[in-house]
Amino acid sequence: MTQEDNRLGIVVSGSLSKGIEVRLDGAASVEDVVVGRYVTMEGQRRRFFGMITDVGLGVTDQRLALNPPDVSDPFVAQVLAGTSTYGIFHVTPYLTIGGDVASLLEGPQPVKTVPSHFSAVNLASDQDIELVFGKEDSERFWIGNPLDMETKICLNLEELVKRSNGIFGKSGTGKTFLTRILLCGMLQKSKAVNLVFDMHNEYGWAGTREGGPPVKALKQLFQSKVAIFTLDEANSRRRGVSTDFVVRIGYDEIEPEDMALLRQTLNLTELAIGAVYELHRKFGRDWLQAALDLKDSDETGALLEELKIHESTFQNLKRGLANIRRLPFIEPHAPDDVVNRILDHLDRGINVVLEFGRYRDVTAYVLVANMLTRRIYAQYQARTEKADADGSAKPQPLVITIEEAHKFLNSEVAGQTTFGMIAREMRKYNVTLLVIDQRPSGIDEEVMSQLGTKITCLLDNERDIDSVLAGVSGRSELKAVLAKLSSRQQALIFGHAVPMPVAFQPREYGSAASYSEFSGSALEAGKQAEKDIEELWGDSGAS
């Protein structure tokens, strides 16, 4: 397609803060101009890249709108089109290129000015998109295609894993699908190891697909680079999944900080959480078993009085602890140390997917994910500080994936949880998050502001939309683009991993050809894993 074929119109007005108004050429149809498409504006000294964020109609004489002419005659309609009536569309500019030799060498830069009046506006070509987003290589990963285009949108995985990121969208819009693709990219490019808390058994061996057969997940595509841990061995066997480790949690491993995060889930009072700390001070690691063993007796009453715990508070706590005791993977003493097992795999560059099997209730998920993350993060913190002190090797960069993220990161608990600390500290200790949620408004505002890159599918709740786009330049324009996404398999991505926001169709996943594309370069990427990690995180201690 030539530049003439791509031509849409000319710049007629606008500003840097409010965007550019473009008048559509008479030869172009307004019905072919869609929100989310990319255009280039040919200024006198620079080319501008922007996104169409609104489309409208205009007339030169308002009397035409009040008394429309008879356009049943094709000749009359053709005469009016482009002269008395015309199409208009709004463009939000994001990048420029050119102006001087230095700018040409540096590539696309953030926009700081606007194109001159009557600059030609063209649909962006595949070459334009490739110039902005780059080609797939050892660092860039193809995640999908711009809407109505065939060219590839590539993420800079080096930038992606430096900060925590989020995937959002209402139920059924493809969050799991996108997460699977993104995890494959991280494994393929070997930028970091992953710990995935897999609440719905979607990322380990096989995942579900609406209206179709199951699809392969990480273990089938990257067998030597993925280990599957499970809380439910029987469920794994029934699904034909070969697991690497069966997780058991001991009563003596559950600490007061773990109970604090479960306060809402278990309907515990603040006083009950305070009682947990008192019991822990009294009985140490055996506090939970001791609390469950206490019977209604004068001796128990005396103990509660000594600890200044009211009887009603203790009963509230016992009801909550009974829910934990009913979880089949909870035992008085765990036979093995799951944290050391996970760390051993991560240290060897093996990604860990922890499946929850049948135990998908929020209590099990919050308890296990929080427990393990606290301990693993503490180990990473100690190792990183030691490496900074004596020059030894730092632990491999780690990305922790959690679903139902608002349970860990809501405003009430985000300031106290390890997940909140990780999000705020970015990569300080070589650990970042990938959060997945259908209720982003439930996540603390400070945490949302720290997410480096956000991928959002369709959202229909105004509070959720405002939460995802809070603090983003051109928020109102992106809100219009987000509202026009399809209810399935379309998303908007913006943030540090891409040079500018883009609405896209995720790449195909589920065919033999797609599996080959995802896993085919895994071995080649693996050979450079150590080099990639050193380059990516070598300066993390100084940041």
Provide the sign of the torsion angle of the four alpha carbons 55, 59, 62, 66, taken in this order: negative
Q: What angle do CA 160, 164, 169 make, to 5 degrees?
A: 90
- How far apart CA 13 and CA 301 sit, in angstroms, is 79
Quickly list DSSP for 91-154: EEEEEEE-SSHHHHHH--EE--S-PPTT-EEEEPPHHHHHHHH----SSEEEEEEETT--SPEE
Its pTM stands at 0.85
pLDDT of residue 79: 58
Tokens of 353: 């997917």
Residue 249 to residues 179, 221, 246, 284, 322, Cα–Cα distance (Å): 27, 29, 10, 17, 15
User: What's the residue count for the chain?
Assistant: 543
pLDDT of residue 527: 45
Quickly list DSSP for 442-456: GS-HHHHHH-SEEEE
- How far apart CA 330 and CA 332 sit, in angstroms, is 7
Helix, coil or strand: residue 539: coil
- How far apart CA 227 and CA 242 sit, in angstroms, is 9
pLDDT of residue 537: 55
Count of CB atoms situated within 10 Å of the CB of 145: 19
pLDDT of residue 524: 45
pLDDT of residue 82: 57
Any residues with CB less than 8 A from the CB of 5 and at least 6 apart, and which?
A: none
Task: Kindly provide the residue ranges of all beta strands, DSSP E only, lying in 248-345, ordered along the sequence.
Answer: 249-250, 330-331
Residues 342-353 as b/e (b if ≥16 CB within 10 A, e otherwise) read bbebbeebbbbb
Measure CA 539 to chain center.
24
pLDDT of residue 3: 56
- How far apart CA 410 and CA 442 sit, in angstroms, is 6
Mean pLDDT by 10 residues, the chain (543 residues): 74 92 88 88 90 87 69 62 79 82 69 92 89 86 88 87 92 90 88 91 86 86 93 92 93 90 88 94 92 87 91 92 91 91 94 93 90 93 90 88 90 83 84 94 91 92 92 84 86 90 90 85 45 54 45
